[in-house]
Structure 1
Amino acid sequence: MRKVSIQTRYERLAAEIESVCREAGRDPDEVVFVAVSKTVGPDEVAQAAAAGACNFGENRPEGLLEKQPLFSDAAWHFIGNIQSRRIGDIVAHADIVHSLYQQRHADKIDAAARAAGKVQDVLLEVNVSGEASKSGLAPDAVEPMLAHCLALPGLRVRGLMTMAPQGDLQRAKASFGGLRELRDRLKSAHPECDDPAFMHDLSMGMSEDWREGIAAGATIVRIGRAVFDDAFE
């Protein structure tokens, strides 16, 4: 059977995302489609870019260092586990970091960003489902972490990120709804933050559950296998 090209898969997904947004009563321009390129090389990134992809996601600093300079017009999202010793590389190459949940990493990102003359956009990772296998802040720990980050001039907190339980769309819906409620409460609790980007973003939804993410208010969906994996159905 003939393989479907990356370009075709990306174009189909982009069209479906637009359709799902409209069905949910949302403007498709509100949702950023991140093509998670962590398992592929520059050639595959180029194919997705040719189809219109302009946001890519990597979970390792090595991936950022390899691909971001080749596609510097795109926005690069760091979605992986943060290692202290690689924070300088992440800050140098990532437009936004999705996976911040430790104060010590916030401090180091702040220092690296100020040294680089930039303000680093970040999302706070929240373990809404409470699964032991997932990293992130417990929901009741997000407010203290947010307060800590708001005191760091090298950070801009754009919102929250979560990963839903796999294989259970009902639990995914509950997780996504919980993240949106938490974001809304935190935003209301800080009226002094007049930056329109503050607590704007909800990064939630991957290849299996992005539709549920959009219905719940996601502004960023992270889709990898459905773009780059021939075996994904």
Structure 2
Amino acid sequence: MNNKLSIQERFEFINNKIIKICQRIGRKENQISILPVSKNFTCNNIQEAQLLGFKRFGENRTQEIHSKYKELINKNIKWVMIGHLQKNKIKDIIEYIEEVQSLDSLELAQNLNNYLQKQNKTLNVMVQIKTSPEPSKYGLNPSDLISFLHKISDTTTHIKVIGLMTIAELTSDQNRIRECFRLTRKLLEQASKYNMPSVNLEHLSMGMSNDFEIAIEEGATEIRLGSSLFGNR
């Protein structure tokens, strides 16, 4: 995509692509939402995207959420943590975020819950599934999901699990990318059969700028877009 395009032009291009994919596979385009990933982009970029109707923005780093929140405090932005969250960083962002998509351990869940209890706040979370062998990728082992959800349901009071998130393997092999997304969808379907308090798996956060088309084909309800929406960082 031409890097000189405006955010509005990029959004229109992406939206047309989503419509065509949905028409081809028999999905409705309103079943897919875009989460703009504003990591390393400016507050001006974020406000430009706001004019297109975006209210939620994904960030990977606690420090960046903190600084952008302060600069955009009166702009009615909802911040979503999509990067790896260390338990010692929770206190830095807990009052700013409305969702965490990278929950991957019981220890993190319980630490989040402790902070949330003190603030009398409930937080939506997604469980990050590790579908890639890359050491740099975080996430829960797929085989541990059901027992993990039961433990979350039994031991936390201020967390609502609303879906699953994954980052596909970084590869040119589209079949391998598809396998990552398909596995996550199947896990959601399996886990949804269980009746667990505070667990309502409605969302699949899958797909980024380089692979969101495959993610939509495999059932993504939310795609996380950075450079394809904002341009090159």
Task: State whether TM-score is above 0.5.
Answer: yes
State which drifts further: 141-150 or 99-108.
141-150
Moved over 4 A (4+): none
Deviations 1:21-51 (A, max 9, x none): 3332222222120110001110111111122
Aligned to 1:169: 174
Give the residue type in structure 1 aligned to 2:86. Answer: Q
Whether 2:209 is the aligned partner of 1:204: answer: no
State which drifts further: 37-46 or 142-151.
142-151
Provide the rounded CA distance (Å) in 2 between the counterparts of 1:112 and 1:41.
29
Whether 2:191 is the aligned partner of 1:186: answer: yes
Superposed CA RMSD: 2.0
Aligned to 1:213: 215
Aligned to 1:109: 112
- Written as runs of structure 1 = structure 2, the 5 A alignment for 1:111-130 is 111-130=114-133
What SS does the corresponding residue of 2:23 show, helix, strand or coil?
Answer: helix
Shift of residue 223 of structure 1?
Answer: 0.7
What SS does the corresponding residue of 1:95 show, helix, strand or coil?
Answer: strand
Indicate conservation of the 8 Å contact 1:119/1:155, yes or no: yes
Provide the rounded CA distance (Å) in 2 between the counterparts of 1:181 and 1:100.
19
- Written as runs of structure 1 = structure 2, the 5 A alignment for 1:80-95 is 80-95=83-98
Aligned to 2:65: 64
1:23–1:226: structure 2 CA closer, same or farther, 3 Å change rule? Answer: same
1:72–1:186: structure 2 CA closer, same or farther, 3 Å change rule? Answer: farther
How many residues were matched structurally? Answer: 228
1:23–1:89: structure 2 CA closer, same or farther, 3 Å change rule? Answer: farther
- Of the candidates 53, 75, 80, which is equivalent to residue 78 of structure 2? 75
Indicate conservation of the 8 Å contact 1:123/1:159, yes or no: yes
Provide the rounded CA distance (Å) in 2 between the counterparts of 1:2 and 1:90.
32
Provide the rounded CA distance (Å) in 2 between the counterparts of 1:130 and 1:176.
14
Give the residue type in structure 2 aligned to 1:149. Answer: I
- Identity across aligned pairs (percent)? 30
Aligned to 2:17: 16
1:18–1:92: structure 2 CA closer, same or farther, 3 Å change rule? Answer: farther
What SS does the corresponding residue of 2:115 show, helix, strand or coil?
Answer: helix
What SS does the corresponding residue of 2:224 show, helix, strand or coil?
Answer: strand
Indicate conservation of the 8 Å contact 2:181/2:206, yes or no: yes
Indicate conservation of the 8 Å contact 1:130/1:138, yes or no: no
Shift of residue 146 of structure 1?
Answer: 1.1
Indicate conservation of the 8 Å contact 1:3/1:230, yes or no: no
Structure 2 alignment gaps of length 5 or more: none
Give the residue type in structure 1 aligned to 2:210. Answer: E
Shift of residue 174 of structure 1?
Answer: 0.9
Shift of residue 2 of structure 1?
Answer: 8.0
Provide the rounded CA distance (Å) in 2 between the counterparts of 1:203 and 1:48.
20
Provide the rounded CA distance (Å) in 1 between the counterparts of 2:3 and 2:60.
30
What SS does the corresponding residue of 1:137 show, helix, strand or coil?
Answer: coil
What SS does the corresponding residue of 1:198 show, helix, strand or coil?
Answer: strand
1:100–1:217: structure 2 CA closer, same or farther, 3 Å change rule? Answer: same
Deviations 1:28-79 (A, max 9, x none): 2221201100011101111111223222110011222233452653332111
Provide the rounded CA distance (Å) in 2 between the counterparts of 1:150 and 1:192.
6
Shift of residue 124 of structure 1?
Answer: 0.7
